[in-house]
Structure 1
């Protein structure tokens, strides 16, 4: 036990608390080992190192408990659920949950936990955050498109259906309007994504150096050295650009090897940060499908023959469940509260739908 730790007052309440901490440390170590079992290389080593750190914390509570350790307790329900997910999935969603769990450590307020243990838990959160960030980066583009497309379909078509329904038109008209809104929105999303991705590719292609330009290097006038202008255009000042160009031509003269112009000012391979993922057609089809998957939800009650207030209530309930689910998933991935994100999605979605519903009532009243 750390020298700075107070002499424990072995009250029954304190012993029960220490036993809970012991169970939590064992459960967290198991989560990290389960996550490590689904990985290889560096990530596996990092997760196993975190499990080892949790074992140190476990030993601290064992030393405090002594003969009062008793029968092993189970971890809290949240940690046991994490262990279940880690054994069966182990993806970025689980890492995001573990990140949140590490952020809730109470060791900073626990008098019998050492300062090193509290610091460990804070660092563990940052380690897991970094591991989760790798996964977030891998799926960020697809996830953004999925959430944006599905939510756009959910909110826009719910607002359309409620607005038209509130005006007092027949159920058949509402159904046709909802299907038309689905097709129009999905086609618009698909076309917009196609144009966006295609335009981005064309811009990147226009910014990529011509591979045949490197073949001109052996024929440059060494005295004029036009190559320096290339490096000046890429951001070097005149003197540095001249030094860089002279070095390239000197190596060319000495080795006869032509250097690629697809390098930055320092001679490193250029790596554009503006990556384009997938093809324009792939982006268009996925956007169409994401929007349609959300837009079909408010129409389902009418497709199933419902009408009137029952159809409106069912549409709102279905859309609410979907909005809450996408908000919760977004919260989990971002390492924030899924409940808060779910409520935010609900507020935004039903806020937009409420405005159109009110307008529909107003127009319906004026027509009557």
Structure 2
């Protein structure tokens, strides 16, 4: 297991090995904690990753000649991951672990074995695969949450800045902000309700039923004709023929077999994916309102003029940076870049509205 040394190890080498040792232990503990919060295949995969980290840990122990009396602390990222894994076990932990695995130091480490270098590359792909599963489960609701909150943040910030630029009083700016919050939140909620209700009605109209299967025992047809029903519902010819044969055989024997029931191209699973119209409407209302209230807070607490504008920009800036960083973590990209992009887009839209307010509204109110 131990790689042959190119030269006599120095004190700096031993300090580096000790650092590798504690990092491998910390990473293994993260995978152990994540596995404890999962079951089935994902749990087994995470336990296998933890076992691989123990092999790497043993490699550095062997080079060090046993457990050192003093060891450095694991890095801030590793400690943060361990803390989060023990309390949340969420997709955010896997996304951060993916970023950590992408930066293996072993490629330039002469005392690491080729197998360890290969392990690290494989670990990155495994963690990325696990994170991708979580992203797929989370993508719809997370997209809606970010979109709703950001829409409220940006649109209401633009509104209050645009109104403020016209020279309106603080009371009028506050009234406009509250009106914008309610109007936007109601619009978002109503839009989501109509969208989801329309999707559910469309799925219901295209959903298959049991009529043809229930009557098959009484009809003077062969399985090839019945297969046309399934082909019309989107099945391939061979699969449709096989399904028809099974149903005809069951009907002739006087048995209804649940396993050969109707083919549903858009069944209950699709309804579950689309979700509830009322849930979508209420959540969209609340998400938009949660973002839209932030730019109005300075005026709610009595500030006015430049102080209110500056505080509104600071609060909205923090919120935009936070949501942008969360998107970056979940997407596996650099959080800082995503955060700055979100900030630039939001402030850019608000700046355009503010300039328009200065251009067209000075002295109008």
Q: Name the counterpart of 1:29.
A: 28
User: TM-score when scaled to structure 2?
Assistant: 0.90
Residue 134, structure 1, aligned to residue 133, structure 2: yes
Aligned equivalent of 1:179: 178
Residue equivalent to 1:278: 275
Distance 1:54 1:8, change over 3 A: farther
Q: Tell me what 1:110 maps to.
A: 109
Distance in 1, matches of 2:203 and 2:92, equals 33
Matched ranges for 1:187-266 at <5 A: 187-222=186-221, 226-235=225-234, 245-246=244-245, 248-257=247-256, 259-262=260-263
| Alpha-carbon contact 1:35-1:47 (below 8 Å) kept | yes
Matches of 2:264 and 2:162 in 1, distance apart?
56
Q: Which runs of 5+ in 2 are unaligned?
A: none
Contact 1:201 1:276 in 2 (8 A): no
Aligned to 1:71: 70
CA distance 1:237–1:292, change in 2 (3 Å): closer
Cα 1:78–1:242, aligned 2, differ >3 Å: closer, same or farther?
closer
Q: Which moved more, 1:305-314 or 1:203-212?
A: 203-212
Alignment RMSD, CA only?
A: 2.6
For the pair 1:362 / 2:363, whether they are aligned, the reply is no
Indicate conservation of the 8 Å contact 2:157/2:312, yes or no: yes
Post-superposition offset of 1:68: 9.2
Quick one: distance in 2 between partners of 1:270 and 1:181? 39
Q: Do structure 1's residue 156 and structure 2's residue 188 form an aligned pair?
A: no
1:300 aligns with 2:320: no
2:231 and 2:40 map into 1 onto residues whose CA distance is: 42
Q: Kindly tell me: are residues 203 and 116 of structure 1, through their superposed partners in 2, closer, same or farther at Cα, counting changes over 3 Å? A: same
Partner SS, residue 108 of structure 2: coil
Instruction: Count how many residue pairs are aligned between Structure 1 and Structure 2.
Output: 363
**How far apart are the structure 1 equivalents of 2:268 and 2:63?**
54
Contact 1:15 1:68 in 2 (8 A): no
Cα distance in 2 between the residues matched to 1:24 and 1:110 = 15
**Matches of 1:68 and 1:226, distance apart in 2:** 75
Q: Quick check: 1:200–1:276 contact (8 Å CA) kept in 2?
A: no
SS in 1 for 2:139: helix
Q: Distance in 2 between matches of 1:243 and 1:94?
A: 45
Moved more, 322-331 or 7-16: 7-16
Indicate if the aligned counterparts of 2:200 and 2:271 stay in contact, CA closer than 8 A: no
Q: Distance in 1 between matches of 2:127 and 2:240?
A: 43
Q: In the superposition, relative to structure 1, how do residues 235 and 289 fare at CA in structure 2: closer, same or farther (>3 Å)?
A: closer
Question: Contact (CA 8 Å) 1:197, 1:276: kept in 2 or not?
Answer: no
Q: Secondary structure at the match of 1:168?
A: coil
- In the alignment, which residue of structure 1 is the partner of 2:286? 289
User: Hey, what's the Cα distance between the residues in 1 that align with 2:199 and 2:331?
Assistant: 27
2:340 corresponds to: 343
Q: Does the CA-based 8 Å contact 2:223-2:245 persist in structure 1?
A: no
TM-score after normalising by structure 1: 0.89
Give, in whole Å, the separation in 1 of the partners of 2:237 and 2:48.
50
C-alpha contact 2:24 2:53 (8 A) present in aligned 1:
yes
Task: Tell me by how many angstroms 1:53 deviates.
Answer: 0.8
Aligned residues of 1:8 and 1:112 also touching (Cα < 8 A): no
Distance across 2 between alignment mates of 1:161 and 1:28: 47
d(CA) in 2 for partners of 1:367, 1:164? 10
Question: Aligned residue for 1:322?
Answer: 319
Q: Secondary structure at the match of 1:112?
A: coil
Residues 365 and 127 (structure 1 numbering): CA distance in 2 closer, same or farther, change over 3 Å? same
Q: 1:270 to 1:276 in 2, by over 3 A?
A: closer
